[in-house]
Structure formats: C-alpha cells, structure tokens
Structure 1
C-alpha cells in the first residue's frame, strides 16, 4: 500500500471539488437554492414580528374602542305587556272531609314586536390615535319610529281583561350601553316616557343590556295608529352597527362619511338605492316578516334573535400591518427572482459571484420588510414602502456595482428590483383582482426568464 500518495490525492480531489463548485452550473444552482432556503429563516422571524405588532395594534384598538364605545346592536323597541294567569290548587280538609279550592294569580309578560319599524341612521366616522396606532370610531344618531298592535293576543290564549295595561312598558336591548350619549325618550302619541336601565328584565343574551321605559298610560295603548311612537338614540361606537328586524315590516336607511363600508348580516341593502363614493355611502334595507322565521308576539321570555341582525361594518379593509404581512408573503419570490437574475448574469457573463455575496444580497432584501414595518408605524404605508424600497434597491445596486465591475448589469438589476417591488405593491393594494394580476405577472416573469436562458448551455457542468 502506497501511503505517500494519499495527501496528494486528497489535495487533487479538493481542487477538483473546488473547480467543480466554480465552474459547474449545477453546483451554482444548488448553492443559490440552499441560500434561498437559509434566508427563509429571517423571513419567518420577520413574519412573526409583523404578527406581534399587529396583535399589539389590535390590543390598542380594543382599548380605544372600550373607552369610546364598542359595536352597536339594537334589539327593539318592543312592547312589554304584563298579563295575569291563574292556577287552582285543592286542599283536603280533614274536619269537613271536603276539598278547598284556592285560585292563585300569577303575573307573566308578553313581548310584542312592532307592526312597522323604521330606522333612520346617520353615522359620522373619524379616527382616534394612541401612539403609533389608530382606530376607526363613529358617532351615530338612530331615529326609530313605528306602531304596535298590542291587543292581538287572543290567539295566544290571553284575554283582553287579563292584560294589566297600566303596567305596560317599552324595552330596548343593546350591546353598547356605555356608548349612549344622551337621555332616551319614548314619544307615544302626545306623551313622553323616559328610559332607565333594567337589570331584572329578561335578556335574550348575557351581553345585551336592557333599557325599559316608565309605565305607559293605559289610554295611550287603547288607540295606537301609524307612527305613534318615536325614539332617538345617540351612540359613540366602533366596528359596526347592527339592527334586528323585529318589525313586521322593518326598514333602515343609513348614511355615513365612511368610504369603505362592509355590509354584514342576513340581509343586504337595496342595490338600486345603494351609493358608495370616496365621500361616504348611503344604503337602504327593507325586511318583511316573511323574510325571517319568528313571530311578532312572544310569551314569558325575549328570544335570542342575534342571528337575524344586519348592518354595516366600519373597519379599515386592509390596514398597514395587513399590507406589510401580505408584502412579506412575497419575500420568497423577491429573493428567488433576485438570485435568479444574479445567477443568469453570472452564468452568461462568466463573472464569479461568491456565495457570501449572494448571502449579503439576500439579507439586504430581508431588511426591506423590517424597514417597511418600522417606518409604516410612523407614516402611511406608501411613504414607508417608497423609503424601504428605494433604500434596498440603491444598496443592492451599489453593492452589485462592486461585484460585477460594470455599469450595465447593476443598472439592469436596479431596474428589475424597482419593477418587482412596484409589481408587488400593486398586488397588495388590490383585493378582488390580486390573484388574477399576480398570476399574469408571474407568467410574464417566467416567459422572460425562459427567453433569456434559452442560449445557456445547461449540459456544460
């Protein structure tokens, strides 16, 4: 065994491997691919950072909304009618050997929904800021009007003489008791009745607070006509406004200066009258009793009808952190395409680019997202995107000038990165057409790469 050749053979093998790494296209592709995978690690940490900051924003928004006023859901007004029921008990008397009958009177309640419920809602939206974070809030005035038919209870087995008319009242339930801005007054014919919080009334859900009017005079319920009641409620609120359509015919008209409404719930507004512009929106709803599966009279308890609510959500459709998160999702694409450009330049021009230089370029690309998130917290997203994009493009362009030793390749790389970041910005601004535009853009990029790489001899190495 000739051991004297072993070090020489090892050196030759090392030189062959080193030459293979420098000259082989396959080796360069493997190295570049490995570096792309490695750079997914800092990208994942950036995504975690964005989510943490978005959670912090959500906490601040919740704190602002809790102090200003939460979402507004109105369930009512409904007429609360007390009525008497009777039960009979028999007691056996040992002395007389007879049964004594005793009749007990019980007080129960019937809840009557209005025959017609009209709601005119005017919403003034604005933003509240806390440090670098802000929340969209609103002040709304809701005007309700309509009429009841409280005597239609015979089919429920309630006799008119058993109704206690002088103990009747009107209930309104809401999620935002704290956000009410002014005293509430029920106007019924020529009389006015104040509301107060009632903690003892039946609730349809634990999160709804109950407001109950003072007792209504009996003569005000004896001859109810159209538009015989009206109530105005002013709220400070946030997120959304919902109404439960308890009227046999329920209409709601809503106007606001909010430019990006999201109509939510079981019923959508009328398309013919709906108007949305940069200055706000106007929408009208009409819900008939045949459109929902509940009756106008309920005995003993108020049913939970939250599933039938409809209204408008007042939220930023795509906030700064959502945009940053969507932008970071394209981080892999940006790094891969940038490395592909450098790889094609290296392969076609025979310029040697060290893996460390690839790594520095990749880290510069990941820095774009940390710059974007940090700057967007102190400015709007467009300015943050421009500053981060220009900084990274200039950095990589100048760095590539020292690597490639020519001017045309760095200029091409700078223009390519500018086009790529512009393309991604357009995609993240779109909502309905993001997938379509993204697919077309990727197809065009693939076609360009196929065209440019057609003359490369892939079999050499």
Structure 2
C-alpha cells in the first residue's frame, strides 16, 4: 500500500520540481514579458492616434490662419514677338503658300540687387489639448533692375513689347496677405493683382502689376524698386535668391529656429537666445546654378529656396513615442530585478504577481500621455513615474514581506525612469548615454547574480 502511494506521488513531485526550477521560472517570466508587448503596442497605437489628431488640428488651424510662406520674386516680365513661318495649300490653285504668324512670348528678368527684411512675431494658438505655432510677418523688399538684354536670343528691339511689361511675384499663401501690395518701380506706384498664368510651371499662385512702359520707366543705369508685404503664416518662411546679389535679414521672437534650404545664414552675425533670433543671408549669383533671365517658360526654382522653419522642435507626442519605445527595456529590467531578488532571497513570486507588476508598468505610458495633454511632458513624466514607483513599491511589500527589498526596488525604478528621461531629452548624445547606461546595468546584473546557483 505504501509502495503504491509512493508511485503515485513520484510523477507529481517530478513535475513540481520542473516547474519550480530556476529555468522554468525564467522561461515563464520571459514569456510573460513577450505577452506584455501586446498591450504595450496598443499604447503605442494610442500615442500615434493622438499624434495624428494633433496634426489634423494643426492643419485646420494653419489653414485658417495661414500656411507656409514661399516667396519667389519680384520678376520683370517682358513680352516679345516672334514670327513663325507656316505652309498652307491654296485649294483653288493647288499652290503652296508661305505665311508668317506673329506669336507673343515672354521673357523673365531677375533683379540685379535684392534686399529683404523680415520681422516675424510668433505665437501659439490652442484648440482643446493641441497647439500650433503661427506667425505674423512684415517683409520689406527693395532692389534694382538693369536694362533687359535680349541679345542672347537674337531678338530685335522692334519686336520687344516694351509698353506691356509687368512685374510678377510667385507665392503659395496669397489668402493670408493682410494688406494691398503696392510697388514703387522707378518712381511709378502700381498695385499687384492676383492672376492666373499658364506660363508658370509649378503650383504656386501669382501676383502681377498692370502694364509698364519700360522705355519711359527704365533708367540708363539702374532702376530701383521697393514694396512691403504683411503675412499671416505658419511653419516656414522661404524665398528664392533670384537677385544677382540677394540679401535677407530676419529677426523673430522664436527661440528655436531651424534654418532650412540650400543656404545658411552668416555665422558671424547670427544670434539665437531665449528672446528670439537674428539671422542674415548674403547669396551671390555664382552660388546658385541658374541665370538672371529666362525665355518662354519661368521654371520652378523652389529647390534653391532658403529660409526658417518655425515648427516646435520636439512636441509632446514625439516625446511620448520615444518613451514608449523603451517600454520593453523597462519591463524586462524590472522583471529581472524581481527575479534576482526571488533567486537570492528564496522568496516565491507567483506569475500572477509578475503580471500585475507588468500591467502597472504599461499603465505608466497611458498616464504619461493623458497628463501630458493637460500639462508639460516633464511634469507629466514626474507624476506618472512617481505614481507607478509608489504603486509597485507598496505592492512589493506584501510580496517580499520585508522593507529592505521594496526600498531597493523603489530606488532601482527611480534610477531607471530617470535614465530613460535623460535619454529622451538628449538628441546628439542619446546613443552614447544609452549605451553607457546599458553597460552599467549589465555590469550590475552580472555582479549581483554571480553567486546564484542556476542549477537548482
């Protein structure tokens, strides 16, 4: 009878020893870590969804206030006449008849000098939990033209329509111009009007003056011009350096400018501080690969534009997304801490208790994003981290039946969350600091686990 009981209990003891072994516990904790990646992925999708919603709201705000400003001008547009010979057959005599057909084409001349000044005042517009950076900009332009030269195309003077010249400005943000745009060209004042032109090869809109008689307007040396434009805009200000010498001076209260395009401002005069920035550009015609004049078609030169980007450098959803990317690391290291404590102290921690701890760690990210939408990221991170560290530390008191280990867990989680926060804030040194931090963590794990008997 006793032998039969020993036979029945033997398998039970065998399976119990397997499931209670260190290897089995490691496998279960590892498998749980992988399972918790599923709700962590849901959290990442939530962050992406909120980020997409923010982009939609920003787009709506910017559309009503004003989009990016892209400026390409002023351009002197001069029509000229060319004659094309056509052949036709006289139906009565069956003879070939030559005819000349007059066709009007257009030439485009850029300024000799182009100087621009821009004063940009930025502000934040809020809708619900979202915000967008917008600005108001007053831009002043002045410069001069020289006599247009048609010799490269062998166009005779009598075929040039000097009395039908106009001045053209290309732009992408006409609806946000706040005042009439008037130009003083050689002492003559003219008003720009919106026009549609089939000769413009890109999607920009155009402003154009009425006819100018260049014979009476152009001076023998240089003919000066000046005009002002006031915009409401967002995101960017860009302009094409079409002057033989182009100079732009810009100042703003925006403290985090990003200089974009083919040309950067002069480092010697550039100034950026908490009150804003001042930047100056000087671009010569030899610095860009296009000439001072075009015939028949005015190309899109937006590729060679330069300017400033006014978007927020790192918004709250980008920071939340970067924090969530370290979720696997936080879960894995926290479980590793509990597993090492379990192995060293011989305290049994049930897989259900690991699950509760893992869910608490994931809850951190939902707390973080929800609080961030009503506060700053730093404050939200501090509140969410404090709440989760307190929750896990108090829970570990009941698990570990001791105050020493929960204090160690609280200190470890505090250090881990601080480490993650530092990496999120860093940009240029994030990889370096992250690598050094992970090396230090690995060294600590190797040190504390060196005396554990893994064969049990």
Match of 2:149 among 142, 148, 152: 152
Deviation for aligned residue 1:86: 2.0
Aligned equivalent of 2:212: 216
User: Could you list the per-position Cα deviations for residues 254-280 of structure 1 after superposition, in whole angstroms to 9, with x for gaps in the alignment?
Assistant: 211111111111122222222221221
The farther-off stretch of 449-458 and 69-78 is: 449-458
Alpha carbons of 1:388 and 1:397: their partners in 2 closer, same or farther (altered >3 Å)?
Answer: same
Partner of 2:377: 381
Match of 2:312, SS state, is: coil
Q: 1:52 aligns with which of 31, 42, 49?
A: 49
* Residues 214, 54 of structure 1: alpha-carbon distance in 2 compared, 3 angstrom cutoff: same
- How far apart in 2 are the matches of 1:227 and 1:25? 88
Q: Within 5 A, what are the aligned runs for 1:187-206?
A: 187-206=184-203
Judged with a 3 Å threshold, the aligned counterparts in structure 2 of structure 1 residues 19 and 229 are, in CA distance, closer, same or farther, namely same
Q: In 2, are the aligned partners of 1:201 and 1:210 still within 8 Å (CA)?
A: no
User: 1:127-146 alignment to 2 at 5 Å?
Assistant: 127-146=124-143
Q: Aligned equivalents of 2:402 and 2:411: distance in 1?
A: 15
Give the counterpart of 1:341 among 337, 340, 344: 337
Is 2:122 the partner of 1:125? yes
Query: What number of residue pairs does the alignment pair up?
Result: 455
Following the alignment from structure 1 to structure 2, what is the Cα–Cα distance between the partners of residues 150 and 156? Answer: 15
Deviation of the 1:376 alpha carbon: 0.8
Q: Partner residue of 1:438? A: 434
The aligned residue for residue 12 of structure 1 is 10
Counterpart Cα distance in 2 of 1:7 and 1:198: 100
Matched, 1:422 2:418: yes
Deviation at 1:21, TM superposition (A): 2.5
Alpha-carbon distance between aligned partners in 2 of 1:307 and 1:49, rounded to the nearest angstrom? 36
Q: Is structure 2 residue 30 aligned with structure 1 residue 37?
A: no
2:318 corresponds to 1:322:
yes
1:371 correspondence with 2:367? yes
Residues 189 and 220 in structure 1, CA contact (< 8 A), matched pair in contact too: no
Please state whether the residue corresponding to 1:158 is helix, strand or coil.
coil
1:231 corresponds to which of 227, 234, 246: 227
Query: Following the alignment from structure 2 to structure 1, what is the Cα–Cα distance between the partners of residues 338 and 291?
Result: 71
Name the CA shift for 1:309/1:94 in 2 (closer, same or farther; >3 Å). closer
Question: How far apart in 1 are the matches of 2:4 and 2:183?
Answer: 102
Alpha-carbon offset, residue 143 of structure 1: 1.3
* TM-aligned CA deviation for residue 94 of structure 1: 8.9
1:172 to 169, 176, 190: 169
Cα deviations by residue, 1:221-276 (Å, 9 ceiling, x for unpaired): 42065570112111111111111111112121221111111111112222222222
Question: Residues 169 and 454 from structure 1, CA distance in 2 versus in 1: closer, same or farther, beyond 3 angstroms?
Answer: same
Residues 119 and 138 in structure 2, CA contact (< 8 A), matched pair in contact too: yes
Alignment match of 1:85 (pick from 82, 85, 108): 82
* 1:301 maps onto 2:297 in alignment: yes
**Distance (Å, rounded) in 2 between the aligned partners of 1:286 and 1:10:** 92
Contact preservation (8 Å) 2:186, 2:217 = no
Of stretches 303-312 and 81-90 in structure 1, the one that deviates more from structure 2 is: 81-90
Task: Establish whether residue 271 from structure 1 lines up as the match of residue 267 from structure 2.
Answer: yes
In structure 2, what is the Cα distance between the partners aligned to 1:164 and 1:245?
Answer: 27
Structure 1 segments unaligned to the other structure (5+ residues): none
1:65 equivalent in alignment to 2:58? no
**Alpha-carbon RMSD:** 2.1
CA contact (8 A) 1:132 1:377 kept: yes
**Deviation of 1:93 (Å):** 6.9
Residue 6 to residue 189, structure 1, CA distance change in 2 (3 Å): farther
The Cα of 1:354 is off from its aligned counterpart by 0.6
Is contact 1:145–1:227 with CA below 8 Å preserved after alignment?
Answer: no
The match for 2:19 among 15, 18, 21 is 21
- Relative to the length of structure 2, the TM-score reads 0.95
Taking the aligned partners of 1:451 and 1:277, their CA distance within structure 2 comes to 46
Task: Please give the alpha-carbon distance, in whole angstroms, between the structure 1 residues aligned to 2:321 and 2:278.
Answer: 32
Which stretch shows the higher mean deviation, 260-269 or 420-429? 260-269
